[in-house]
Every structure is written in C-alpha cells, then in structure tokens.
Amino acid sequence: MDDTAILFIDHIDTPVGRLAIVVDAGGSLRAVGFTDGHARMERQMASQGFAFVSKKNPGGLTAPIRAYFKGDLGAIDALPVTFDGTDFQRRVWKALRKIPCGETCSYGDLAARIGNPRAVRAVGLANGANPVGIVVPCHRVIGADGSLTGYGGGVERKRWLLEHEGAARADSQLRFA
C-alpha cells in the first residue's frame, strides 16, 4: 500500500473521554475526536482508501494534545493540520483556528470574519463537519445570545473545554445554564 494512504492513529484518555488522534504520513493532523463518535469518521476515511495503523505519538502530535489537557493551553496552537473539505469549509476551519483560547464568538461573528455575514447557517454546518476537533476549536463557537449550542462531542464536553480554557471567566456573555 502507498504511504500516502496510511493514517496513523493514537488514543489518549482525557478528563472528558477517550480521544483519537489521526495523523497522515506527512505529519499533519487529519482528525481529532472523541472515540464514542469516531466510528463514522473512521468509516468515511476508510471509504476514501485510507488505512489506519496504530502508532504512539505519531508525528509528535499526541504529546502536545496531552499537554493541552494537562493545562498547557497553547501547546496545540501551531500543530499542523490538513483539511479535506470544500473551499467554504476550509475557510471556516481556518477562521476557527484564529479564535484565541479563552474566547468565544457566535456563528454570526464567524460568518462575518470570513467575509460572508449572511452565511450563518452554512458556517454552522461547516463548524459541525470539522474533523479536527479541539485543535481546530469549533467548541469556541456559541449562540448569538451566549448560549452553548450543539457540539459533536456533546454540550457537556463543550462546557468542560470552555471552562478549561477560561472562557467562563473571560467572556461575560457566556451562559452555562
């Protein structure tokens, strides 16, 4: 099998569940997500001709993600990521990486940031299709009223991630109720 078709997968335990980290042969993250929702991603990547090989700390990328969960919140900021998706999705995902740790923005704010303020629903769909959770921080996007909205890993995990990052203290609009 060709090396470009191999994806390396590692798993770590976090305070909010088991996390899968998928890295390509070039050393870029291709997917990060909680394993209780990862079967769909694995099936999708397998249907695209990728094979998974278990490997500890592939590309050295598991260690910074582990460090993030231990409190080094900046450890994941510069990790290399390869995005597969539409041009629009990739614009949204790149904009997500620009939301600083400890801050949040609304879907409308994110749509405006990519130069398409009327694309709020499309931004929400792209946000939900983000394959590289946590590193591409879709959890930092909230409702216009400050409420927590859907998150692929579950709203309780979103709440935990935002509290871990200090967003509850930094963003007075954030509503955890």
Name the catalytic one among 19, 95, 123, 138: 138
CATH fold label, 3-76 = Double Stranded RNA Binding Domain (3.30.160)
Cβ-contact 132, 29 below 8 angstroms: yes
Q: Residue ranges per domain, the chain?
A: 3-76, 87-170
138 catalytic? Reply is yes
Along the 177 residues of the chain, how does pLDDT read in single tens digits?
455 589 999 999 999 999 999 999 999 999 999 988 666 667 777 777 888 899 999 999 999 999 999 999 999 999 999 988 999 999 999 999 999 999 999 999 999 999 999 999 999 999 999 999 999 999 999 999 888 888 888 899 999 999 999 986 544 455 544
Query: What pTM, to 2 d.p., does this model score?
Result: 0.89
State the CATH class of domain 87-170: mainly alpha
